[in-house]
Each structure stands twice: as structure tokens, then as C-alpha cells.
């Protein structure tokens, strides 16, 4: 039985134990953390996790930005969570640095009184695999130049924003599926199963 390699690109921002545990979905799956953005591409699937600040993460991926962008656009299966989804875009109001530019657009601050948004919220999804309710922890949201990539929306107070996007063989979600109970874990497992197939 061959082993499916899943690489989590580590920005050096904190504990990703729950994400790695969720990705280890069964026999034949090997999950590793990698701090080098080019080395991270030697994999069957890539995960950009949701821990950290945009400027620090953009700095960490800068040396392999072009290679990672090309790999994603060439179809490398990729799951991008929270900050990881934001890194698919050009830049962010959160701080300096250049994103991957896979999806044209920007990351902006939530337009709400209560920031950050922390807790459960509804996901208006066009994709059946996404949970209907998920756990969020974010102050910033993505604003694509075109709606074509959007597969889900969420509203915090009166601010409706993209909470799910797809491009090539990549899915980005603004919520944390690994913290979103059974439906979120199932979503991650479906991603892993899709890579194995």
C-alpha cells in the first residue's frame, strides 16, 4: 500500500496539533510539518494552516512564493484554512507582505463592532462538502476581485464575506474545520480521501 504524503506548511506561529491529528485520517497517510516553502511542495497535498499573522506568514513563504503559486495553479491538491485562505490573495490590510496571488483580490478588516469574530457561525454554502455551521476566529476576511471563485459566504453582524473559495484543485475556508465538530472533521477527511483517490 502506497503512502499519501500531506505537508503542512509551518509559518512557525504556534501549535497545530489538532489540525495534524485531523489530517491523519487513516492508514497510508503521512502528515509532516515543513518550514521551507519549496521543500513543502514535494508532497501529494499541501495544507496552509490558519495560525499566525499575514505579514509573518508572507515573509516565511517569500523565498518559494513563485514555486508555490505555480504548483497550486498547476493542480497540487491544497487545503487553505483561515490565514491560509488569506495567503491565496495578493495582500492584506493586516500587515506588510505579498500573498501568493493565486486569486486576484485583497484581504480586509472585518466591518463590525465586535472584532475578532470568535465562535460558531453559519456557512451559506454552494458546496455540499462544507459544514453548515463552523468555528471562526478571524479579524480579517478575503475580498476577491471576482465572485467566480466563491463557494460559501458568512455574515458577521452586517458584514457578508467569502468564507469558502476554490481555484484549480485548491479549497480555501475562512473557518477552522479542525475545530468545527463532526462536520468540519468530515470536510477535512473528504479532502484527504480525495487526494488518496
DSSP string, 22-33: HH--STTEEEEE
The Cα–Cα gap between 128 and 136 comes to 19
Residues 6+ away with beta carbon under 8 Å from 39: none
The Cα–Cα gap between 88 and 98 comes to 10
Q: What is the DSSP letter of 106?
A: E
Question: CB count, 10 Å around CB of 63?
Answer: 12
The Cα–Cα gap between 153 and 59 comes to 28
The residues assigned a catalytic role are 82, 176, 178
DSSP string, 111-172: -SSS-SEEEEEE-EESSTTS-SEEEEEESEEEEESSGGGEEEEEEETTEEEEEEEEETTEEE
Contact by Cβ (8 Å): 19, 49:
yes
Amino acid at each position: 500500500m502506497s503512502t499519501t504524503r500531506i505537508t503542512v506548511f509551518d509559518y512557525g506561529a504556534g501549535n497545530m496539533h489538532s489540525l495534524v491529528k485531523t489530517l491523519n485520517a487513516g492508514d497510508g497517510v503521512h502528515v509532516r510539518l515543513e518550514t521551507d516553502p519549496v521543500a513543502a511542495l514535494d508532497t501529494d497535498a499541501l495544507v496552509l494552516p490558519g495560525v499566525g499573522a499575514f505579514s509573518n506568514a508572507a515573509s516565511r513563504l517569500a523565498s518559494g512564493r513563485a514555486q508555490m503559486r505555480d504548483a497550486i495553479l498547476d493542480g497540487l491538491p491544497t487545503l487553505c484554512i483561515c490565514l491560509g485562505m488569506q495567503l491565496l490573495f495578493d495582500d492584506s490590510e493586516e500587515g506588510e507582505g505579498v500573498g501568493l496571488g493565486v486569486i486576484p483580490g485583497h484581504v480586509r478588516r472585518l466591518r463590525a463592532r465586535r472584532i475578532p469574530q470568535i465562535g460558531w457561525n453559519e456557512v451559506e454554502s454552494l458546496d455540499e462538502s462544507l459544514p453548515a455551521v463552523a468555528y471562526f476566529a478571524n479579524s480579517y476576511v478575503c475580498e476577491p476581485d471576482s465572485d467566480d471563485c466563491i463557494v460559501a459566504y458568512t455574515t458577521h453582524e452586517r458584514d457578508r464575506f467569502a468564507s469558502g473559495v476554490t481555484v484549480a484543485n485548491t479549497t480555501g475556508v475562512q473557518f477552522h474545520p479542525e475545530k468545527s465538530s463532526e462536520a468540519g472533521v468530515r470536510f477535512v477527511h473528504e479532502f484527504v480521501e480525495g487526494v488518496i483517490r
